[in-house]
Structure 1
Amino acid sequence: METARDKLGKVSRYRWVVLIVIWLVYIINYFDRTSVLTFLPLIRKDLGLTAAQAGLGASLFFFAYAIAQFTGGWLADRIGPKKVMYIAITTFTGVTFVTGFIRNFTHFILVRLGLGFFEGHHFSPSHKVIANWFPKEEKGRAAGFFSTSWAVGPAVIPIIITWLAAYYGSWRPVFFWLAVPGIIGILLLWYFVADRPEEVVRRGRMTQAEADYIEAGVVSESAKGSSKGGLAVVARDVYFWMYCIVLFMNLAIYWGSTTWISSFLYEQHGFSLKTMGALVSLPYAVAFVAMIVGGWLTDNVFNNKTRPVLLMSYIVSIPVLLYMGMIPKGHVSTIIAMLVLMGFFVNLSFGAVYAYPQIRYPREVVGSAVGISNGFGQFGSFVAPLIAGYLVVEKAGGGASYTNVFIFFSAMAVIAAVLTLFLSEKPLTATLPKSESTVKA
C-alpha cells in the first residue's frame, strides 16, 4: 500500500519553502539588533555615552527580550504564529527606523527596550511554525537549519552596514535603510507562510499528499500524553536548575562578546570602520560550521550525550577568551586566529545545550522545561553586557582596554564547565513522587 511518504516523492516540498522564509525573516531580525551593536563605538561617541551607559543600553535589550519570550509563545498559541510575527516585524522595523533619530541616552534606552521587547516576540512563533509544518522525523533538521540564522546574520550584516556607514559618512542613515528588509520580510510572510499546511492546500500551492505526510508525523492533541503537575516535575529536578545556570552562562558569553567585540576591535586595537566590520563577521562565519559540527557530534559520535560537547566547548573557550583581551596591539594575525577559535568553540555548544531538555525531560513536560530555561538563560544576555561595560578601562590618551571584559567571559566559561560535569542526562520520568525534592539519576 502506498504511504503518504511514498506519494510525497512525486510532489514538491512546500514545507521547506516555509522554513527558508522564516529563516530569512529571522535574519532580518538580526539586521536590526546586530546593527546597534556594530555601531556601538560610534553611537557612544556621537551621544557622549560612557562605556557603562552603553553597556546598560545593550543589556536592557536582552532584559526586554527575555520577558517577551513568555508572552510571544503564549500569543502564538492563541492567535497563531503568523499574526504574532507580523506584529513583531512591523513594530521592531519601526523602532529600528526611529533609531536613526536618537540624540541622547534616554532615547538610546527607549529604543533598546522597544527593540528587545518586539524582537522577543519573533522567536517562539517561528518555532511554532516549525512545529506545525514538520513531522517528527524532520524536526531536528528543520530546527537545526533555523538556528543557523543567528550565525549567518552576524557574519554578513556587519560587512553590509559598515560599508553603508562608510558611504554616507554616518551610522544614522543605515537605520533608515533597514526599514527596507523589514518591509520585504512582511511581504514574504504574507505570501508564503501560513499557520498550518491545510491553509496552503486550500490556496492550491501545495498538494494534499504533502499535508497528509506532515499531519501523519505531527502528534495530535488527542494523542498527547498528559502529565499532571508537569511543571512541578521540572521544578523539583535539581539538574534542571543546574542546566538553567549553564544556559545562563552560555548565552552570557555569546551575547556579551557579541555586544563588545566591535568596540574591542575599534577602540583597543584601532581598526578602521570597514576593517572592524570584516573582522566582526569572522567568528560568526565560523559559528555556522561550529553549530553544525556540535549537533553532529552530539547525535553521531556521543550517542545523544550533550555533556562531552558542552565540556569541549567551555573548557577550550576558557583560555581562548582569556588570551583574547591580552593580544598586543598590531598583532593582526593573532587577532584573526583567536577570533576564529572564539567563533568555533563558543558556538560549538549551541546544538548540545538546546538538545539537553529534549534528552532529559519527557515530551509531556519538555515545553515547560524549554520555556523556563530559555527565559532564565536570556537574563544572562542581559547581565553580561551590563557588567562588561563597567569593566572597560578608558585610556587617558584615547581608546580603551577590554582585558578585564574577556577575563570576565572566561570566568563564566569556567562556571559553565564545572556545572556541566554534574549534569545528569538520564531521562526523567513524568511521574516524579511528591516526596522527592530532587531527582536521583
Structure 2
Amino acid sequence: MLEKETMSIGLKPKTGYRWVILFVLWLLYLINYLDRTSVLTLLPVIRTDLHITHEQAGLIASIFFVGYAIAQVLAGMLADRIGAKRVMSIAIIIFTFVTFATGLVRSFSTFVLLRLGLGIGEGCHFAPASRTIADWFPNNEKGRATSLFTTTFQVGPAVIPILATSLATFFGSWRPVFFVLGIPGLIGIFMLWYYVTNTPEEELRNKGRISKEEYDYILSNLNTTKSETKKMATTKALKVLFTDISFIAYCLILFFNLAVIWGELVWISSFLYEQHGFSLKAMGFMASVPSLIAIVALVLGGWLMDKVFHGKAKWILAIGFLPCVPIFFLLSSVPKGHIFLLTVALLLMGFFSNIQGGALYTYPQMRFPKQMVGTAIGISNGFGQLGSFLAPFAAGFLVKTSASGAVSYNNVFIMFAGMALIAGVLSLFLSEKPKVVESLE
C-alpha cells in the first residue's frame, strides 16, 4: 500500500478529465435533489391545500426512504455487474417523470405512491455515482472528490428552498413548481451519456479524452484485488461485508447520520414556519442557512481527511457528531423572536452535522476493494435510509400543539441529539485498515 501511495505521488497527470466526470456527477445529483427538497420546503402549504395532518405529512416525507433504501441495495449490486452509467440512466428517467407528476397530485394516497416511486428512482443514483468516483479517483484524492460530490447534499437544500418558494410565490401555487423542475432531468440524461464513462479504462479505449499519464496516475493508487477488469462474485462480496464488524458499525453510524440529516431537512421548514412564525418567503431563506455553511463544512472535512488525517475517517466523524448534541439542545430552547440566536444555532447545526459527510461516504472506498464498492455502498446506504424513514416519521408524532395552537418541535431536536451521540461513539470503533480479499469467487 505504501509503495502504491509513493508511486501515485510521483506521477503527474497531464489531463484532469476525472474532475470533469466529478463535475457532471455533481450536477446530476443536484438535479436529483430538486424534487425531494422542493416537496419538503413546500410541505407546510401542500399540507394545508390537501388537508393533511402532521402525522400524515411525516409519512409522506418518510415513505420516500422505503423505496430509496430498497433501490440503493439493488442499484449498488447492479452498478458492480452492468455498469454505473446504465443504472444512473434508469434513475434519472424515473425521478424526472415523478417530479412532473407531483404537480398533479390531488390526494394523500396518490401523494404517498408518488413519493414511494420517487424514492425508487432516486435510490438508483447514489451508489452508482459513488462507484464511479471510486473508479476514477486514486485513494489520495478520494476524500476531496467524495466531499465535493456530497456538497450537493447541501447545495440543493441551500438553493432549492429559495427557488421553490420564489417560484410558488410567482405562480401563486405550489403545483407549477414541479412542472418547471421536471425540465433539468432531460438535460441530465444528455450530459450523462455524452460525458460520463464507467471507468478510466473505458474512456481511454473508446473516447480518448483522458491521457495515458492521467490513466496511470489514477490506477497507481486504487484498492484492487488481482484484476482490474474481472468482477467479484456478489456472494463473495456479501460474505466479506457481513463478516466485517466495522462494516456493521458503519451501517449503524450511517443509519443515525441519515436520521439526523433528513430529520432536519424534512422538518426545518415547518419548524421555522409554525414554531417561529416566519412568512413563506422568509422561511425559505432561513431554511437555507444550515445548508450554506454545510457546503463549507463538507469541503473542509474532505480536505482534512486527505491532508491531515491521511484517509482516516473516524476522527472526522467524531468531530462532527459529538458537538451536535449540545447544539440540538440549544436549537430546541431558542425563544420565538430571537432571530440572531436562532441563526447562530442553525449555522452551528449545519456545520457540525455535515463536516463528516465526505469522510463518511469515503470510508467504504478506502476500506474495500473497488470491485465490491458498489455493493458495499448500496447495502450500507440502503440500511442507512431506514434512519431517513424512521426519523421524520417519528418526529411527526413528537411535534406538540398546545390548546392555544402554539406548535413546539423541542422534543424532535432532543431525539436528534440522542442519535448524534450514538453515531459519535460508534465512530470511534471503526477499523481504518483496508480489507484484503484474495479471491474474487
Which structure 2 segments of 5+ residues have no match? Answer: 1-7
Can you list the C-alpha shifts for 1:123-143, whole angstroms capped at 9, x where unaligned?
122123334434455444332
Task: Give the structure 1 partner of residue 393 of structure 2.
Answer: 386
Task: Give the structure 2 partner of residue 159 of structure 1.
Answer: 162
Aligned pair 1:266/2:241, yes or no? no
After TM superposition, list the pairs within 5 Å mapping 1:48-63 onto structure 2: 48-63=51-66
- Match of 1:321, as an amino acid? F
Aligned pair 1:346/2:349, yes or no? no
- Match of 2:354, as an amino acid? N
Aligned pair 1:102/2:108, yes or no? no
Change (3 A) 1:26 1:398: same
After TM superposition, list the pairs within 5 Å mapping 1:180-191 onto structure 2: 180-191=183-194
Aligned pair 1:425/2:428, yes or no? no
Aligned pair 1:320/2:327, yes or no? yes
Task: Give the structure 2 partner of residue 253 of structure 1.
Answer: 260
Instruction: Give the conservation status (yes or no) of the 8 Å contact 1:364–1:430.
Output: no
Specify which structure has the bigger relative contact order, considering alpha-carbon pairs within 8 angstroms and separated by 6 or more residues: 2
Q: Which residue, 415, 419, 427 being the options, matches 1:408?
A: 415
SS state at 1:84 partner: helix
Instruction: Give the conservation status (yes or no) of the 8 Å contact 1:233–1:430.
Output: no
CA distance in 2, matches of 1:81, 1:98: 26
- Match of 2:251, as an amino acid? C
Cα distance, 1:269 vs structure 2: 0.8
- Match of 1:223, as an amino acid? S
Aligned pair 1:223/2:218, yes or no? no
CA distance in 1, matches of 2:194, 2:369: 36
Instruction: Give the conservation status (yes or no) of the 8 Å contact 2:158–2:289.
Output: yes
Task: Give the structure 1 partner of residue 93 of structure 2.
Answer: 90
Aligned pair 1:285/2:289, yes or no? no
Aligned pair 1:375/2:382, yes or no? yes
Can you list the C-alpha shifts for 1:346-402, whole angstroms capped at 9, x where unaligned?
112223333444555677776654443222211111110010011111344445211
Task: Give the structure 2 partner of residue 336 of structure 1.
Answer: 343
CA distance in 1, matches of 2:315, 2:102: 42
Cα distance, 1:233 vs structure 2: 4.4
Task: Give the structure 1 partner of residue 5 of structure 2.
Answer: none
Change (3 A) 1:129 1:358: closer
Cα distance, 1:338 vs structure 2: 0.6
30-39 or 122-131: bigger deviation: 122-131
- Match of 2:163, as an amino acid? I
Instruction: Give the conservation status (yes or no) of the 8 Å contact 1:13–1:210.
Output: no
Task: Give the structure 2 partner of residue 30 of structure 1.
Answer: 33
Change (3 A) 1:23 1:121: same
- Match of 1:31, as an amino acid? L
208-217 or 389-398: bigger deviation: 208-217
SS state at 2:124 partner: helix
SS state at 1:223 partner: coil
The count of aligned residue pairs is 426
CA distance in 1, matches of 2:76, 2:259: 22
- Match of 1:253, as an amino acid? V
Task: Give the structure 2 partner of residue 435 of structure 1.
Answer: none
Task: Give the structure 2 partner of residue 65 of structure 1.
Answer: 68
CA distance in 2, matches of 1:370, 1:128: 8
Provide TM-score, normalisation by structure 1.
0.87
CA distance in 2, matches of 1:106, 1:187: 33
Change (3 A) 1:428 1:223: closer
Which structure 1 segments of 5+ residues have no match? Answer: 433-441
Task: Give the structure 2 partner of residue 40 of structure 1.
Answer: 43
What percent identity do the matched residue pairs reach? 52
CA distance in 1, matches of 2:352, 2:147: 17
CA distance in 1, matches of 2:374, 2:181: 34
Provide TM-score, normalisation by structure 2.
0.87
CA distance in 1, matches of 2:246, 2:145: 28
